[in-house]
Amino acid sequence: MSTTVKGKARIYACGGAGINIGKKLEQFRGTSEVGVTDLDITYIDTSRSNLDATVSGDYCYLLDGLDGSGKIRRDNYHAISENTRKILQSFKPLDVNIVISSGSGGSGSVIAPSLVTELLENDHNVIVIVIGSSDSRIDIDNTLKTLKSYDAISQKRERPVVAAYFQNSAETPRSKVDDSIVSVLFSLTTLFSRENKELDTRDLYNFLNYHRVTSFKPKLVGLTVHIGDVPTDSISDVISVASVVVDETSLNFIPEYRCVGYLSEQVSADIAKNMPMHFLTHNDSFAAVAELLTEKLDSLDKIQKARIESKPVISSKDVIADDGMVL
């Protein structure tokens, strides 16, 4: 591995949720630090409503003629699909490409999978971050369809889709979820820095494309990041592991594939204090998530079917004008 080539990360911040996360990282654009990738953030949406003066138009791709999707995923699907290659031509993929969106919205949840399928088709390193929601029926339905889209993309492209999943809830409000996502993003910039000794680009390619080096088949799989020891409850369904360490560090389990990089001695104390750092892909992460979302949908459907329609206010005796006015 050459230490003269700095790793570069592209963040594709899709829709409102992705854009809000991306803006939290804008202060790091153009900076260069030992032990982390250079960071380039791209904002993509169907509406200007989530963008403000803090983001230069040079870093944005807005789809012409659209003004949001109003949580209806199918409304702008064709326009988004037609623009996917143009987006990637305008903002070219880098060493690692992190695609962030909500699963529950109407724009980001379509833009992000559209980018992912094209990136995988062209053999790029891709990591997905998706934020689910169960605040309403349409949120649940959209989140479930977004996850199913990623699983279908994996089957179509015959490549794993590696995704870190977060969900807004009363217990983990949006502010806490955002903080967790930012933490994961910073960890990934360390993993893909290209400055970790003995960890080369092919190691990380195999970590994401685990089907090349393990007995597991491509599918939608979970990604978790652990600072320090890996908790026992996180090791039962592990596929592959990538670690960044200071000294030789063994795990208390044996995955089918593991790659290890040793942190440069020139990194800052803030980076060094987060060692060891372990990245795990998980085989069964999304089966439980999908099951829970499906159960919530089924419960809401039962309530809907049992609902008795209320009587209208107007009656057959009312005189109604052509414009709807009751006289």
For β-strands 220-227 and 277-282, DSSP reports them as antiparallel
**Nearest C-alpha neighbor of 298 from the set 140, 166, 147, 168:** 140
Residue 296 within a domain: no
Distance from CA of residue 213 to its chain's centroid? Answer: 24
pLDDT in the model for residue 73: 61
Instruction: Give the pLDDT score at 74.
Output: 65
Secondary structure element (H or E) that encloses residue 292, with its range: helix 285-306
Instruction: Indicate whether 282 belongs to any domain.
Output: no
The pLDDT score that the predictor gives to residue 126 is 98
Is residue 209 domain-resident?
A: yes
Domain assignment present for 40: yes
What length does the chain have? Answer: 327
Instruction: Look at residue 67 and tell me if it is in a domain.
Output: yes
Instruction: Write down the pLDDT at residue 2.
Output: 44
Residue-wise pLDDT tens for the chain (327 aa)? Answer: 444 589 999 999 999 899 999 999 988 888 889 999 999 999 998 877 777 777 888 899 988 765 545 565 666 788 888 899 999 999 999 999 999 999 988 788 899 999 999 999 999 999 999 999 888 888 999 999 999 999 999 999 999 999 999 998 778 888 899 999 999 999 999 999 999 999 999 999 999 999 999 999 999 999 999 999 898 888 889 999 999 999 988 898 999 999 999 999 999 998 999 999 999 999 988 999 989 999 988 888 887 777 777 788 888 888 888 888 887
Six token digits for residue 164: 């870190």
SS3 243: strand
CATH number, domain of 164, equals 3.40.50.1440
Give the pLDDT confidence score for residue 1 in this predicted structure: 41
- The reported pLDDT for the residue numbered 211 is 97
Residue-level pLDDT at 315: 83
- Is residue 292 one of the residues assigned to a domain? no
Domain that holds residue 13: 8-222
Whether omega before 276 lies within 30 degrees of 0, making that bond cis, reads: yes
Residue at 88 is within a domain: yes
Q: What is the pTM of this model?
A: 0.90
Residue 194 counted as domain residue: yes
**How many separate domains does the chain show?**
1
